[in-house]
Structure 1
Amino acid sequence: MAGYDSYSFAPDESIIFDKIIKYIVDVVVVICLGLFVVTYFGVDEKVVGNSMSPTLLNDQRIFVDTFTYKLVEPEKEDIVVFNKAVNEGAFGTYVKRIVATPGDTVQIKNGKLYINDKIYNTVDDVKIVNAGNISTKMTLDVDEYFVIGDNINNSEDSRFSTIGTVSKEEIVGKVWFIFAPFKNINFVD
């Protein structure tokens, strides 16, 4: 019939192809950006053990920000990954929470942790069974950080000579993100 144009409502194949190509390019850019961030600003680590439970669990994979502490000092409540010499030439990698910073005093008495003579409420707020080396008050020197596990009665941490205090140089970085297993993906506070 004259005067009528035929319209097609089927998607044009070139539009579909363009969308697929754009999607693939977007995915490649995101992957490259992720690799760049991990390579230059962080590392991934695997949590071994339950000393940081309930905050971090055994076998979780975490992203560790290795850049921030080049600009600022570690702070109380930061969860950090650090390396400590365990034998001559061998290092262990640990994940713990900073509870005291340079100049602070630390002591465990009557099953409670005291920071600067004030009770520090641990994550589970349980009675601490083993005071380790801090049954008497200890003052942290410059560049000494005191770290504990959130599961304090199941943690090898700064209370014990095997770990002791941690220096900024030993700190790898701040735990930032849980990325595996998938059901636990979350930022870490």
Structure 2
Amino acid sequence: MRRRRPEENEPEQNGGAGRTLRSIVLMLLAAVAMAFLAGNFVVMNAQVPTASMENTICIGDRIVALRPAYLFSEPERGDIIVFPCPDDESQYYVKRIIALPGETVEIREGKVYIDGAEEPLRETYLKEEPYGAAGPFEVPEKAYFVMGDNRNSSLDSRYWTHKFVPREDILGKVFLRYYPDIAWIA
């Protein structure tokens, strides 16, 4: 009878646990790296602290913005974006794009007019009938004029010292609310 050699038929006693531990550590490092990359280059997670975007986004809602949304296209009127406040870059704001680069925007009796149009923008997303007047403001190239959907309670381009959001400051386009319920944001 041939005597068997332990290394042929028995599991390794010394390296197996080390390999398993090494595999677990590598998987954890890969997960952390993927979360870091996704959080810094793909999506942005935020909680909304004010009522300025009601009823579209309410106080306490948790949202996700897509960071690369504008890699191959330009922001459009109606997009909801995340950006540092032009007057206080330590705070991130969430607002809707109202006027595009090169346009002139004016608010009369709460209604928004672009480039002297006779008819105001059709804004079905507003929380309530807005009031007030502002402008006219000429939007510079590579910048945007933004406002909240709750116009009567929104600190936005109408009131800031630096009225416009530069294109390079847009951090992402909001596309999803995941708390307190899940809904696509358009």
**What's the RMSD between the two structures over aligned residues?**
2.3
Q: Aligned letter for 1:128?
A: P
**Residue 133 of structure 2: aligned partner:** 131
C-alpha contact (below 8 Å) 2:54/2:127 kept by paired residues = no
**Residue 49 of structure 2: aligned partner:** 48
Q: Structure 1 residue 163: deviation in Å? A: 5.5
Instruction: State which of 164, 178, 188 in structure 1 corresponds to 2:185.
Output: 188
Q: Structure 1 residue 156: deviation in Å? A: 0.6
**Residues of 2 paired with 1:92 and 1:85: CA distance?**
9
| CA pair 175-149 structure 1, distance change in 2 beyond 3 A | same
Please give the secondary structure, in 1, of the residue aligned with 2:90: strand
**Residue 109 of structure 1: aligned partner:** 108
C-alpha contact (below 8 Å) 2:86/2:160 kept by paired residues = no
| CA pair 100-85 structure 1, distance change in 2 beyond 3 A | closer
Cα offsets for 1:35-89 (capped at 9, x unmatched) = 36444311101111111000001111111111122222111110001102445xx
C-alpha contact (below 8 Å) 1:86/1:92 kept by paired residues = no
Matched pairs, number: 152
| CA pair 126-54 structure 1, distance change in 2 beyond 3 A | closer
| CA pair 63-112 structure 1, distance change in 2 beyond 3 A | same
What 5-or-longer segments of structure 1 have no aligned partner? Answer: 1-27
C-alpha contact (below 8 Å) 1:113/1:128 kept by paired residues = no
**Residue 166 of structure 1: aligned partner:** 165
C-alpha contact (below 8 Å) 2:177/2:183 kept by paired residues = yes
Cα offsets for 1:117-160 (capped at 9, x unmatched) = 2301332375432324x1xx222110120111001111011111
**Residue 61 of structure 1: aligned partner:** 62
Q: Structure 1 residue 112: deviation in Å? A: 1.6
**Residues of 1 paired with 2:92 and 2:85: CA distance?**
7
C-alpha contact (below 8 Å) 1:157/1:163 kept by paired residues = no
Q: Aligned letter for 1:129?
A: Y
**Residue 156 of structure 2: aligned partner:** 157
**Residues of 2 paired with 1:140 and 1:44: CA distance?**
28
C-alpha contact (below 8 Å) 2:111/2:131 kept by paired residues = no
**Residues of 2 paired with 1:76 and 1:59: CA distance?**
25
**Residue 18 of structure 1: aligned partner:** none
| CA pair 143-127 structure 1, distance change in 2 beyond 3 A | same
**Residues of 2 paired with 1:167 and 1:66: CA distance?**
15
TM-score (norm 2): 0.72
C-alpha contact (below 8 Å) 1:60/1:178 kept by paired residues = yes
**Residues of 1 paired with 2:164 and 2:87: CA distance?**
14
**Residues of 1 paired with 2:146 and 2:175: CA distance?**
17
Please give the secondary structure, in 2, of the residue aligned with 1:145: strand
